[in-house]
Amino acid sequence: MKLREIAHSRTGDKGEISNISLIPYDENNYELLKEKVTSEKVKSYFSEICHGEVVRYEMDGLRALNFVLDKTLGGGVTRSLAIDRHGKTLGMALLEMEI
């Protein structure tokens, strides 16, 4: 199944760093997300653009995960030659990941 079937995302960016939150529609799926969506899998999924570390933060009280991807935005929104390097597009991309 794709992540978009059980979760939604919020994102942000600052310079070379993107953060992507992953929030299950049903909080009962939080443990499944913790098991299936690791830092290593997110790093691998974004391997073509993520050239730094990926750190996962577990927000158990909110039943959400937050991933911080370093060296991902091609120098940042104002420096990149890419058409759209904003972090918000990466949230939608992550939701296409199969678990």
User: The domain spanning residue 79 has which CATH number?
Assistant: 3.30.1360
Percent of the chain with pLDDT over 70: 86
Q: What is the CA radius of gyration of the chain?
A: 13
Does 13 map to a domain?
A: yes
Q: How far apart are CA 6 and CA 22, in angstroms?
A: 10
- Residue 99's nearest CA partner among 27, 33, 23, 1 is 1
Phi, psi at residue 8, to the nearest 5°?
-125, 175
Dihedral of the alpha carbons of 50, 55, 58, 59, in degrees to the nearest 10: -80
Is the predicted pLDDT of residue 13 greater than 60, yes or no?
yes
User: Tell me, what's the pLDDT at 82?
Assistant: 53
Number of domains in the chain: 1
Phi, psi at residue 6, to the nearest 5°?
-125, -5
Q: What angle do CA 94, 55, 45 make, to 5 degrees?
A: 30
Q: What global pTM score does this model have?
A: 0.88
Does 16 map to a domain?
A: yes
Does 99 map to a domain?
A: no
**pLDDT (tens digit, 9 = 90+) per residue, 50-97?**
999 999 999 999 999 999 999 988 766 655 555 455 566 899 999 999
Determine the average pLDDT of the residues in 28-50. Answer: 97
Range(s) of the domain holding residue 69? 3-94
